[in-house]
Chain A
């Protein structure tokens, strides 16, 4: 479904983020990318979203070279990928409900669909009572749950979660991970980048380990070993 073909990303002569990385992700997989800060996890995800362009190599999503897409088609691609960021990135001037509705509006959904789906997904992340709060009025954990709700609202094929539990307390961390697991069970591919050992060990799913821009391990039922 997703295929990285000898992808390199060089920011400057002294900073190489990725070096000839190749691997494939199957549909409905729950894959974890691990590695220390600066190992290239975030760069890899940015390349998939076409937020950055690779220095060499190609990234395929459903056999389409992501970086050959025109702007208009890129918009369509991004609607198939839901994203959750470490720094959450909610729109600060919109309420929880509006943040989620925005993704639906952007995708051209009808008002009826929005009124039907948004409360449902808010219930899934257990935030129905906080719909009309602004991000500044919510805790970090709550914000991250809103962000996940926003990522899944358009039923994407893939969810990318880049350190979604960074800066969260253990209780919120597990809540986030459980939501991601639930989403994966419903048939969505999940790509999780993290350096949280206990999460990886408890998941018991495929783990790809990055070190200094290279893949050093790829285990089917991996544990966190760095």
Chain B
């Protein structure tokens, strides 16, 4: 009997959805907008996230060593730095490599190339490029290095560029933090608004049927038998809307993909869409179906009191 009831509720839900054609279409449209908002948020978070990662990756501390310092001293310091908890990695650039890099960067500039050739010795020292796990941790590493460079026994460190970059790094850290905060606040507000709109749309569709609900009750249908088909309809709105939303994202990300790749260097929205298709679809499907079912349930309950 339970199976027969479930089958009847399911069938009634499908039939209602189909026969209420225009109302269903309008509701699906509204829900597509909601899911589209949520989907766009997922994509913009992906862009923001990879942008943040890239900027953070570009921030580092460079330690320049005196030209006469010994390689083993530098490597010893490198080991010491690597042991610091905050440090992600330390890259050693030898004096020769530094000169190569410098030449490569300025090969268009004849004067620099010429004057370098006139010098017999390498004017550049070796360098250590240090990256920390979080931007806020540069301060601590810089302090450690400062202490090292001011050692009374004399130091091999010539210059630490952190102090010059400190302002920029601080600002960047702040911008990244506030972008993250603002982003999450805005997303929460947008999602709440679209959920409220969807909820009210579904309530309206059920308001249209309020008399029918009363009739069903008077004919002797149990609450569950009356509300079941409406909840099935709500789930259908969610399922169909999530499919439409995912289809809509295909041309959109195809179009936006190359643009985002150029602008944000590296993140191709289209590739992100393809590689995360399953996850995004399941998430939208879950949100859509839950929102539909819950809205229907709450809305029907009002008219079940007869």
State the majority secondary structure of interface residues on B. helix
The chain A residues found within 8 Å of chain B, CB to CB, are 49, 51, 71-72, 75-76, 78-79, 83, 89-93, 102-103, 105-108, 110-111, 150, 154
List A contacts of B217 (CB < 8 A): 78
The answer to whether B4 touches A106 (Cβ under 8 A) is: no
A75 & B221 in contact (Cβ 8 Å cutoff)? yes
Contact status of A93 and B19, CB under 8 A, knowing A106-B225, A108-B5, A110-B4: yes
- Contacts A71-B223, A108-B5 hold; do A49 and B218 have CB atoms under 8 A apart? yes
Interface residue stretch chosen among B115-123, B188-196, B208-216, B293-301: B208-216
**Is A103 a contact of B212 with CB atoms below 8 Å?**
no
- Closest A-chain residue to B306, C-beta based? A51
Query: Contact between A91 and B215 (Cβ–Cβ < 8 Å)?
Result: yes
Interface residues on B, range: 20 to 34
B12 to chain A, nearest CB (A): 8
Q: Does B85 contact A (CB under 8 A)?
A: no
In the assembled complex, the CB of B16 is this many whole angstroms from the nearest CB of chain A, namely 6
B residues whose Cβ falls under 8 Å from a Cβ of A: 1, 4-5, 8, 15-16, 19-20, 211-212, 215-223, 225, 306
Please give me the 10 A-B residue pairs with the lowest Cβ-Cβ distance, nearest first: A106-B221, A79-B220, A78-B220, A93-B19, A89-B215, A103-B219, A75-B222, A105-B8, A91-B212, A106-B220
Complex CA gap A190/B223 in Å reads 27
Taking the nearest CB of chain B, how far is it from the CB of A147, in angstroms? 10
Set A92, A106, A108, A110: member contacting B219, Cβ < 8 A: A106
Note all chain A residues with C-beta closer than 8 A to B221: 75, 102, 106
A48 to B145, CA, bound (A): 90
Q: Closest approach, in angstroms, between the C-beta of A141 and any C-beta of chain B?
A: 19
Provide 5 A-B residue pairs closer than 8 Å at the C-beta atoms, listed in order of the A residue.
Answer: A49-B218, A72-B222, A78-B219, A102-B219, A106-B220
Whole-angstrom CA separation of A106 from B5 in the bound complex: 9
Q: How many whole Å from A158's CB to the nearest CB in chain B?
A: 13
Enumerate chain B residues within 8 angstroms of A110, measured Cβ to Cβ. Answer: 4
With A89-B211, A92-B212, A108-B5 as contacts: A83 and B223 at CB distance below 8 Å? no
B216, A93: Cβ atoms closer than 8 Å: no
CB A25 to nearest CB in B, in angstroms, measures: 19
Q: Give the complex CA separation of A103 and B225 in angstroms.
A: 11
Q: Could you tell me if B215 and A78 are in contact, using CB atoms closer than 8 angstroms?
A: no
In the assembled complex, the Cα of A16 lies from the Cα of B233 at a distance in Å of 41
